[in-house]
Copies of this chain bind each other. A is one copy, B any other.
Amino acid sequence: MSRAAVVGAGMTKFGVHESPMQELFADAAFEALDDAGIEAGEIEALYFGNAMGGQTENETHLGPKMATHIGMAGTPVQRFEDACATSANAFKNAVQAVEAGVHDAVLVGGVERCTPETGKDTPEMTRIFGSASHRQYEQPSGLTFPGVFALLTKRHMHEHGTTEEQLAHVAVKNHGNGALNPNAHFGKETTVEEALDGPIVADPFRLMDCCPFSDGASAVVVVSDDLADSYDAPVDVTGVGHATDVVPIGDKREIGVTQAARDAAAEAYEQAGIDADAVDFAEVHDCFTGAEILASEALGLIEDGEGGVAAEEGRTARDGDIPINPSGGLKAKGHPIGATGTAQIVELTKHLRGEAGERQLDAADCGVAHNLGGDSATTVVSVMEARQ
């Protein structure tokens, strides 16, 4: 049973862009519309995500600005912001509206500029990113996100014996995948030795354990299930789960367990009528290598505690038994915050259609996207399946 279908997908290259946000978003949006073969005038609503435009470039109320720039002025549009889970939440609400019959066809996407092209340097961007952490308890202590995920990962290492080498294997895999992705921020491979030799950012994370700040945009066209077959290459959205967890991190019941991801995955799998065994591949939110390991377990793709071993053994490689982040993930593809969630949907769409080029997976009938925000306080998990 499909809740809705994705019939068009587009994204910019992730990396460093001079173009303002409207132009970046237009590039992704037009590619998605062209891919679907749908006219802008047939789109009934826009679900738009941007995380930090107000803080980076004094740009808010971006919904109508984007709609205007892509020729959809008049269309209802709302901006979503849920930290790094921004555009996955836009996607969730879009699927919900289409399934309910409120709209037949909508455009969903996001854009972000996070590099010095915004005029903000890395310390300033780090402070801005830190706005997603708890204002009273975390920000004053200087706990930015490398530190948050370092704490989660350290706990996993303590409980399960996960090693820095295993973390490095995640980086090596994702950089290898990214080298096959023309839209990736980083097109270069790395090695375990290089990763382990990098400067420490937040113990246990070294430079190669951390994703970059990127500029970029992504967009998908979502239509109702009964319209899907009138498009060339529909892909079914069979489940979208969404859950939150407590903030600040100190209030979490178990910090090595990303509970929101487990709750969101359970909801998404139930909607899709599958269990984790049915999943062929996944795009997960690897803002840090440790986050990929936690996600692979929370989604039920790898046994609890085995995420590090699985990475080391190559189980999550493109030719492994459960490929994770064939796009290169946030680690190598890049992380333009508000564009990341729908970029995962773009990647799933490509593989499920058999259009992922050099990085195409052999078995790709069921894919999962996992997009988290803050210290895993928001997670959206989406299940997509090749249309039968």
Contact = CB atoms under 8 A, between A and B. Distances in A.
Interface of A: 20, 51-55, 57-61, 63-65, 67-68, 73-83, 89, 92-93, 96-97, 99-102, 127-128, 130-136, 139, 242-247, 251, 259-260, 263, 373-374, 377-378
13 contacts: A58-B128, A58-B130, A58-B135, A58-B139, A61-B82, A64-B247, A65-B134, A73-B247, A74-B260, A77-B244, A78-B80, A80-B80, A96-B97
Q: Interface centre among A53, A60, A77, A133, by most B CB within 10 Å? A: A60
Contact of A136 (B20, B78, B132): B20
A139 B54 CA distance: 13
A4 to B, nearest CB: 13
B89 A96 contact: no
Contacts of A246: 64, 68, 73
A60 B259 CA distance: 21
A140 to B, nearest CB: 11
A55 B57 contact: no
B131 A245 contact: no
B244 A75 contact: yes
A63 B244 contact: yes
A377 B263 CA distance: 37
Nearest to A72: B244
A247 B22 CA distance: 12
A270 to B, nearest CB: 14
A102 to B, nearest CB: 6
B79 A244 contact: no
A57 B245 contact: no
A161 to B, nearest CB: 30
A348 to B, nearest CB: 21
B245 A73 contact: yes
Contacts of A97: 96, 100
B244 A127 contact: no
A67 B244 contact: yes
Given A54-B52, A244-B73, A64 B20 contact: no
Nearest to A75: B244
B102 A61 contact: no
A260 B247 CA distance: 37
B139 A74 contact: no
A60 B51 CA distance: 8
B61 A374 contact: yes
Given A74-B244, A80-B80, 16 more contacts: A54-B54, A58-B135, A59-B131, A61-B82, A63-B82, A63-B244, A65-B247, A65-B377, A68-B246, A73-B247, A74-B245, A74-B260, A80-B81, A96-B96, A96-B102, A100-B102
Nearest to A76: B242
